[in-house]
Amino acid sequence: MAKILIADDSKLQKLEIARFLKKLGHIVLEAQDGFEAIDLANVHLPDLILLDVVMPSCNGFSALRKIKSNEKTQHIPIMMVSTKSEDIDKIWASKQGAVGYITKPIDFVLLEAEINKNL
């Protein structure tokens, strides 16, 4: 059982992912945007973070950079989740420190495999 933080501005998408993770036995934390994800990561030190790329006020790439630049949270593996499926976005995420990139609509078999690989 791991503590996983989901950051996504889509309530429906977040609910769908959270239900899936809870069925797998994980503890789920939820954030509405990148700023909240940064705060929750600092306080709760999750085992893994799933970050949506496109969010208001602080997007996933900005949150990724902030979390990775903080000594307290830089060890946390972060996977990006997005409708953006271009290779450039995946390359950019990897260069910023993401350990994976899942495109929406989410393939939950792939998501589970990626989570298991990074925990």
CB 75 within 8 A of CB 96: no
As to burial, measured by CB atoms within 10 angstroms (0-12 exposed, 13-18 middle, 19+ buried), residue 92 is middle
The domain defined by 1-105 folds into Rossmann fold (3.40.50)
Q: Angle at Cα 98 formed by Cα 32 and Cα 20, nearest 5°?
A: 55
Q: Where exactly are the structural domains of the chain? A: 1-105
> In whole numbers, what is the pLDDT of the chain averaged over residues?
96
pLDDT at position 57 is: 87
Backbone angles phi, psi at 54, to 5 degrees: -95, 105
> How many percent of the chain have pLDDT more than 70?
100
Backbone angles phi, psi at 58, to 5 degrees: -145, 105
Pick out the chain residues at pLDDT < 50: none
For residue 27, the cross-strand partners are 3
